[in-house]
Amino acid sequence: MTSSRDQADGTASATLDEAMEALLRFGAAMLRAGNTATRTHALTETMGKKLGFDSVALSLTLDSITASVRRGGERSTAVREIGPPGVNAGRIAELERLAKADEPALTAREVTRRLAEIEAALPRYSAAQIAGAVGVASGGFAFLNGADAPEMIAASIGGGIGQWARAWLSRRHVNQYASAALAAVVASGCYVLLAALAGHAGIGFTRYPAGFIASALFLVPGFPLIAGLFDLLQHQTVAAVSRMAYGVMILLAVVLGLSIVIALGGVELGRQPPLELAYPMTLSLRALASFAAGCAFAMLFNSSTQIVLASGLLALAANDVRLTLIDLGIALAPAAFVATLLIGLVASVAERRFEAPPMAMVVAPTVIMMPGLYAYEMTVLFNRGQMLDALQATAACGFVIGALAMGLAAARFSVRRGR
């Protein structure tokens, strides 16, 4: 026969286990949606206080979360697997709203119920809408990289079909690396096919490389790479290294897909003549292309309508600043640094005043500044065995990506120093 004290101890233990499960589920949902380990750590501790824990210690990696908690004289440690990583800025916003809500205490059942509602929410945009948005963005990327109308149209079609293919593969739970490689093959392959058909019709592609790389630029894993950078700056080393390794592997898978198309399609590398447009027209078209690309990436990350528009406007302003600096003779890397410094500062202000998740504001405008043409040259030259030229293109690409990262880091440090 069980005594009343044994029953009370069992009830308390069950309650502790329920609270621990709710806490781990919250932290896992944050990481699975793509949030940084630093922010996940802080908000999970906040949620732990609402669940009645006196202290919470966390260890985070890309695929697991470990928590040790204390409540009164009780202690507990548990581990939970996170599952395949993804990107869902809308879910991040809802989870942050739950953690910051003005409710001093929450029961484990209430937290579990709200988490179930957040995770069950349908995407804001259909697969067709996102594919269309990515197609528009790919055309914008092509123009920003110096492409003309035929290349822009082909890149738009290739990018839209490539995104549809990636979504189709994802719904069938195909390995993420395989999905990235196959989507790169589909997107760039469609571009090559359209270019060949246009050539037979008498329409030449004089700026072929710009459109080719733009068709697959939507596959750049900007969210995990930037999140990994932020985690590294905040000494979340294990989570940062695992997340950045995941981003690099996705990049390698994309490069593999592009390499297959380059080899089979006999893609040639050649310098492009500059577009001959009046400078005011160039500025206007740059602004339109940057806005469209920024909005499209924010839609791809399932951001709210307000965040989509804000990301587009921020991309317009920052990328126009970058390109204008380049026109004035500033080197690529310093111009990229200034642009992402601006993005980081604006995102920090939006976080303070409007409680917008900084990752949702930062990533979309930054990804459109990735040095796609240098990455293209690097891929083609390595495939040809021209190692010195390939290393030169790799160094140029690395300098620009490093400058983008350092601009965001400088903005983050400046804001924190000012608090």
107 and 34 in one domain? yes
d(CA 339, CA 362): 11
Give the domain-ending residue among 102, 120, 138: 120
232: pLDDT confidence band, cut at 50, 70 and 90? confident
Give the domain-ending residue among 101, 120, 139: 120
Q: Which amino acid is at 172?
A: R
pLDDT tens sequence across 358-385: 777 888 898 888 887 777 778 778 877 8
Asked whether the beta carbons of 148 and 207 are under 8 A apart, the reply is yes
398 and 268 in one domain? yes
**Does the residue 343 lie in any domain?**
yes
Let me know if 258 is exposed, middle or buried by CB neighbors in 10 A (0-12, 13-18, 19+). buried
302 and 368 in one domain? yes
**Does the residue 403 lie in any domain?**
yes
d(CA 80, CA 391): 42
182 and 102 in one domain? no
269 and 187 in one domain? yes
pLDDT tens sequence across 143-153: 988 888 899 99
The count of residues in the chain is 419
- How many CB atoms sit inside 10 A of residue 198's CB? 16
Question: What is the average per-residue pLDDT within 53-60?
Answer: 91
- Is the pLDDT at 269 greater than 70? The verdict is no
**Does the residue 1 lie in any domain?**
no
d(CA 309, CA 311): 5
C-alpha neighbours within 13 Å on the C-beta side of residue 203: 13
pTM across the whole model: 0.86
206 and 307 in one domain? yes
Give the domain-ending residue among 75, 91, 120: 120
**Does the residue 2 lie in any domain?**
no
State the residue range of the domain holding 229: 127-418
d(CA 285, CA 152): 13
132 and 104 in one domain? no
Asked whether the beta carbons of 227 and 35 are under 8 A apart, the reply is yes
147 and 65 in one domain? no
259 and 276 in one domain? yes
3-class state of residue 71 by DSSP: strand
298 and 176 in one domain? yes
- Is the pLDDT at 119 greater than 60? The verdict is yes
Let me know if 61 is exposed, middle or buried by CB neighbors in 10 A (0-12, 13-18, 19+). middle
State the total domains in the chain.
Answer: 2
d(CA 336, CA 333): 5
- How many CB atoms sit inside 10 A of residue 347's CB? 28
256 and 150 in one domain? yes
